[in-house]
Amino acid sequence: MKNIFIKSTHIFIIFFVIITSFNCSFADDYEDNATIDVNAEISETITQTTDTLEPSSINSRSCIVYDRNSHMILYGKNETKQVKMASTTKIMTSLIIIENCNLSETIEISQKAAGTGGSRLGLKTGDKITIKDLLYGLMLCSGNDAAVALAEYACGDIQGFSELMNNKAHELGLTNTHYESPHGLDSDGHYTTAYELAVLSDYALKNETFARIVGTKNYTVTINGYPKNLSNTNELLGYLNGVYGVKTGFTNGANRCLVTACKRNDMDIICVVLGADTKKFRTQDSIKLIEYAFKNFTYIDANELAINSFNNWKNENLKYIDINKSSSTSFDFEVRTCENSILSINKNDVGNIETTISINAYLEAPISSNAVIGNLTITLRDQTLMSLDIININDINRKNIPYYLNYFFSNYSNILEQILKY
């Protein structure tokens, strides 16, 4: 009897460990099938959107609203903290494949890929499918089996593919991001930050193929010649105004995650929420952050601001600039504009933007054209938003012997008259 009890206990423990390990392997929305009335959440959240957003009102452990045009952070909460990323990993996975592989090629699914657990496209050993359809299965229904199949196709195994992912992260300057898999199952060495996930998404969305895939609500793939309909797990796509991607995520370690791209008129943002307790909180947080950004922020053209400010300064101060030993009788300066001059500013702060111009009132010739002789700084409450060079327009030559000789002979009579006076 005792042996039976002990044996039963061992069986129960083994069963519990297996079940626990299996649950921990879910990578995306597998066990969180709660139905959410997205329209109701949108309506309620928009009504409650205010001019301020306290961190305590955001359930997610870390989040960010990143403006794609200005590359500025409009809102952040623990946005630089390293956290698990779940299936938002697949943003990098798909990017590597799109940039390096033939999407029209058909491959055969391995036993390892077919046996991958968690959220799945539903592949079986020996199935034949194109790389393109695997990408849709990866990004729409978050198939871990598709992720492994793509990694094996590109590099032969997960480890080699992870190296490609990390090399790309290094290339993009993502110093707080590290990959150990193409699907995002929990592991201690697999992490990112909300900020770097936004930067990665911004880069990926510049690729037309990537943008088209993550912006697709429904798609039909073909496996072994048979169609299979897929639906995007992104609950905001097709519901919230302006949303055009990008990726959901869930593991027990990462909790609920969502990266959302949204554009309205000229404003284009990426919202990242990581570590929400429930899918409902994930949805609510994303809507709050997106609506907050569009309600409270506007664009300022830094070039236009700088030029107007500098011209006003120049009209009043250029005459006080002294260039020692200059052979030129006139000179002029201008502010050097920048390629990306957009600043995303809270509407309440527009009136608090200041420009500071710094030019030495005493300069020494010679000064070549395009030489930097000062700078113009745009600030908001002591925070530098942009710094632009002030440059000399035309060459300013230094007085030399030929100059003095020419001056002497040109003004000989006047010089002689002055000497005779004495």
Query: What one-character DSSP code corresponds to residue 309?
Result: H
Cα 149 to Cα 107, 111, 156: the distances in Å are 9, 10, 9
From the list 142, 162, 286, 309, the catalytic residue is: 142
**87 among known catalytic residues:** yes
Alpha-carbon distance of 109 to 125, in angstroms, equals 5
**142 among known catalytic residues:** yes
Q: Is the Cβ–Cβ distance between 276 and 255 less than 8 Å?
A: yes
**84 among known catalytic residues:** no
Could you list the beta-strand ranges (E) of 194-341. Answer: 218-223, 226-231, 243-251, 255-264, 267-276, 297-301, 322-324, 333-335
From the list 84, 90, 132, 279, the catalytic residue is: 90
| Sequential DSSP letters for 329-390 | S---EEE---S--EEEEEGGGGGGEEEEEEE-SEEES-B-TT-EEEEEEEEETTEEEEEEEE
Q: Cis check for the bond before 148: say yes or no (omega within 30 of 0).
A: no
Let me know how many helices (H) and strands (E) the chain has, helices first: 13, 17
From the list 87, 181, 201, 327, the catalytic residue is: 87
Q: Is the Cβ–Cβ distance between 266 and 53 less than 8 Å?
A: no
Alpha-carbon distance of 147 to 103, in angstroms, equals 14
Question: Nearest Cα to 327, choosing from 401, 253, 411, 383?
Answer: 401
Give catalytic residue positions: 87, 90, 142
